[in-house]
Structure 1
Amino acid sequence: MATDEKLKMFQFVVVGGGIAGVTCTEQLLSRFPSAGVALVTAAPQIKTVENFKQVSKTLEEFDVAECPSSVLEEKYPNLTVIQSAAIALHTHDHILQTSGGLEVRYEKLCICSGGRPKLLTKDNPFVLGIRDTDSAQEFQKRLSEAKRIVVVGNGGIALELVFEVRGCEVIWAVKDKAIGNAFFDAGAAQFLIPSLAADRPEGAATCKRARYTTEEARPGPSHTTYTAGDRRESAPGPAEPGSALGPDWHEGIALRGAEEGVSVSVEYQCEVDKICTREELETPVSEIESWPVYIQLTNGKTVGCDFIVSATGVVPNTEPFLRGNNFVLAHDGGLRVDDHMRTSQADVYAAGDVCTACWEHSPLWQQMRLWTQARQMGWHAGNCMAAHVLSEPIELDFCFELFAHITRFFNYKVVLLGKFNGQGLGLDQELLVRCTKGHEYIKVVLSGGRMVGAVLVGETDLEETFENLILNQMDLTPYKDELLNPNIDIEDYFD
């Protein structure tokens, strides 16, 4: 048992300094201005929401600010930030142990430990995972001397990386039939593909978002911000102290290789079969130059390059500190949570990438582990914890009624609504598409004559109208021919 100096007691404890954890913490602090609240985070910096804007009923935009944890402590006198990694949890005793030797006793605990990166292989000097600021800067350094790289992955970081890299040949290996498979359909992918070959002068893209910077904690509220978008949150811990990356993580970093021009080629429907040196190749390759590393793909191609970027996503960070507590896990390894964000263990909640929403979902919502959902889950978890302590009734927040997300890819605004890729609909769907090359791509998903999803690429100004049509579930059968007619103002049409 810990000594008095090593034992801390709080009514509420939150693990994780990302958006989910900080949002949950702030919600608890607003509901309980005098209760003891602790935020346990391994990183010196935390992430907070700024400039929050409710665009429509379910669509939201906000900036993510990275700042020293002291900023939060100064704002909330009853908050204690414990800068230390969580190493063990004893749910039976309501005690959390940290790497600093503390035993933290709680009444209610919320786990917001994010996700940890899935690298293609560990301890290979030619394989680089981009997950935080430090690794992004290492990527910049190595890219400056590279003539060719291979990018493996089809998520948000991969999409932005291949668009931003200049002066280096990029071979992009994706396992799907189209790029950005998680975010949009093959039609939208084809709309965006020409952007990879287009002349992109440096600094030409409009960008309202700045990348994170990891620095030693310093006095004052200095921080950088960027608008919320797609991300995979890295696990906090002694070995991985860096801040998780989000959209426009490349802003402020010169992603230039050793050559001139822009060259991106995509290898579709393939995965990595083997990574090896030239000496380890089973069959000779007709390469004019000798490359430091070779990657063999499942489509039979072997490609030599200077290094490989692993951008293959994350898995929920439930190891190692949650071991031995018999948490019920979902199929994807996340902590199962109900509609009150409760795990299978008493008084333990979870939010963000570490958990899996296992309640009966709205037919129009799905979990995608994005910045917006991290904020929504953290906010709802804090509300649920407060309601349970105060014995108040609480219902699932309205944001879980409809999946809604705004981001940017290839310098286009992208809005995703509902079952935007026809998720789970099978053959029971009808697609309406309007595409103007270089300007906009609009896809509507209908099921039974009712709109259930939409993809909007470009400045379409249709998101609020389509959101209302999806939520209202109006029968659009009589209007299908006019729904995407560019000569009709749809907003007035359904006013």
Structure 2
Amino acid sequence: GDMADKVEKTFKFVIVGGGIAGVTCVEQLSSQIPSAEVALITAGPHIKAVTNYKQVSKMLEEFDVEERPASVLEEKFPNLTVIHSAVKSLHTQSHSVETADGRIFGYEKLCICSGGRPKLLTQENPYVLGIRDTDSAQEFQKRLSKAKRIVVVGNGGIALELVYEVEGCEVIWAVKDKAIGNTFFDAGAAQFLIPSLEAEKPERAAPCKRPRYTTEEPAAGASHTFTAGLHLSLLLFSVEYQCEVEKIFTSEELLNSQQQTLRPENGSWPVYIQLTNGKTFGCDFIVSATGVVPNAEPFLYGNNFALADDGGLQVDDHMMTSEPDVYAAGDVCTACWEHSPLWQQMRLWTQARQMGWYAGRCMVADILSEPIELDFCFELFSHITKFFNYKVVLLGKFNGQGLGPDHELLVRCTKGQEYVKVVLSGGRMVGAVLIGETDLEETFENLILNQMDLTPYGEELLNPNVDIEDYFD
């Protein structure tokens, strides 16, 4: 056909996207079949590389992410060609990709690793900062240092995590649920993590009650223990529940608008945000922490990709999309195989690396007609990160995701040192949050994987005077 005539070169493997998933996939393919011609199509001059990789336990891995010039990869893999351009269109029928600069490349197997982009509240707005990972953190820190008040929109643990660095900045948090069903935090973790519960203004402080752990949601409008804890520490923290963003406008637009409802408070702020509950707040800037949207658009036109509800490309347990010879990995894809009961997809660095690695393995297995099993990393969700300079380990259904009301929580908290939460279902451990140097990750990982009945141990499981490893090694 027309397309086929203009193909400049055909590669065995073409990968689109120079993020963690794409780069990891390239490394897998190049090291498994060193003779295969591989192309990486990426818009920017830099790629994201995994550095300082450490396997911490069977499931847990730690690594840093660094921007590197793409040439670093080409030097490492002689069979790799980096094509610096965005993708304009994909033609799955003719197995070819057209780049924005008008070139056309053929492929035998393609892997789409185009990532996700922050769900932004509005079109580009200098007062709205999208936060989706710690790499947007520096920019956030910089702007925060001068801010008196910010509004955070979305259940963004990352945004909240960063707020703590700042003294005396007021935070208003708009959440669409009736409670903070936060991805990373629960009431207790928040109380542990937000430092200096000794309020500076004693007359406003209330006794800090140990949060009661319940699995029911508080009634709409009920103040959550979480908020109480935050109020004590920051004295400047409030949550607006069950609301989303109606409108964002500048102080000029505000003055010009004749709406009486929008009278600014004393003093004028650079930006105003109106929420669906009718309240309007002025602030220095707005943090949008509402998750990511898979970057699938450039590939859809003229093709028949099955999409998941979240807009991701559906992939099966071999990371294959619904189009022949097209794989996908990382934030752009949605895992549509039947998940292990202890795993969930969350668009994180760790999963981008695991998916890119596994997609590469699957592509090679397919070329060599070898069978391949779903990788072990998809058995148990595991993630290590840092919050407030504490090590944080998340395992399994760490927030009781999808467990319904029958699960129970055990919590141990040593202020300023560690916070340990265990999620049990039917007497078996199904999830855990470990904050601080707890040294429990391997033991808990094993207890979750082997699904041992822990009923006989009861509360003793978290007794700090009992060396739990002695029981289970």
Do both share a fold (TM > 0.5)? yes
CA distance in 1, matches of 2:408, 2:144: 44
Q: Secondary structure at the match of 1:29?
A: helix
User: For residues 62 and 312 of structure 1, do their structure 2 counterparts lie closer, same or farther at Cα, with a shift above 3 Å needed?
Assistant: same
- The Cα of 1:187 is off from its aligned counterpart by 2.0
2:226 is matched with none
| Cα 1:132–1:96 shift into 2, 3 Å | farther
Question: Alignment partner of 2:304: what SS?
Answer: coil
SS of alignment partner, residue 404 of structure 2:
coil
Partner of 2:254: 278
- 1:48 is aligned with what amino acid? A
From 396, 400, 418, the counterpart of 1:418: 396
User: Relative contact order, CA 8 A, sep 6+: which one is greater?
Assistant: 1
Which residue pairs with 2:409 in the alignment?
431
Contact 1:278/1:293, CA 8 A, preserved across alignment? no
Maintained 8 Å contact 1:178/1:185: no
Does the Cα contact within 8 Å between 2:70 and 2:82 map onto a contact in 1? yes
Amino acid at match of 1:278: L
Query: How far apart are 1:112 and its partner, in Å?
Result: 0.4
Q: CA deviation at 1:287?
A: 1.8
The 5-angstrom pairing of residues 193-272 of structure 1 reads 193-194=194-195, 264-269=236-241, 270-272=243-245
Aligned ranges 1:269-418 → 2 under 5 Å: 269=241, 270-276=243-249, 277-279=253-255, 280=257, 281-283=259-261, 285=263, 287-418=265-396
1-structure distance, mates of 2:78, 2:300: 29
> Where do 5+ consecutive residues of structure 2 fail to align?
201-233
Hey, what's the Cα distance between the residues in 1 that align with 2:386 and 2:35? Answer: 41
Asked if structure 2 preserves the Cα contact closer than 8 Å seen for 1:84 and 1:98, the reply is yes
More displaced 10-residue stretch of structure 1: 190-199 or 449-458 = 190-199
Alpha-carbon displacement from aligned partner over 1:221-265 (angstroms, at most 9, x marks no partner): xxxxxxxxxxxxxxxxxxxxxxxxxxxxxxxxxxxxxxxxx8752
- Cα distance, 1:192 vs. partner? 2.1
Any conservation in 2 of the 1:197–1:263 contact (CA below 8 Å)?
A: no
Give the structure with the larger helix fraction: 2
The structure-2 alpha-carbon separation of the partners of 1:421 and 1:146, relative to structure 1 and needing over 3 Å to count, comes to: closer
The alpha-carbon distance between structure 1 residues 181 and 139, as it changes in their structure 2 partners (threshold 3 A), is closer
Q: TM-score, normalised by structure 1?
A: 0.81
The answer for the alignment partner of 1:152 in structure 2 is 153
Structure 1 residue ranges without an equivalent (≥5): 200-261
What SS does structure 1 have at the residue aligned with 2:110? Answer: strand
- Where in structure 2 are the equivalents of 1:101-140 lying within 5 Å? 101-130=102-131
Can you list the C-alpha shifts for 1:405-424, whole angstroms capped at 9, x where unaligned? Answer: 11111222111111111112
Offset of residue 305 of structure 1: 1.7
Structure 2 CA distance, aligned partners of 1:56 and 1:12?
32
Deviations 1:55-79 (A, max 9, x none): 1111111121210000000011000
The SS at the match of 1:283 is helix
Provide the rounded CA distance (Å) in 2 between the counterparts of 1:265 and 1:190. Answer: 13
Amino acid at match of 2:40: L
Q: Tell me the SS of whatever aligns to 1:324.
A: coil
Worse overlay, 402-411 or 3-12: 3-12
* Distance in 2, Cα, partners of 1:29 & 1:120: 40
1:135–1:100 CA distance, 2 compared to 1 (3 A): farther
1:444 corresponding residue in structure 2: 422
Paired residue total: 434
Instruction: Calculate the TM-score normalised by the size of structure 2.
Output: 0.85
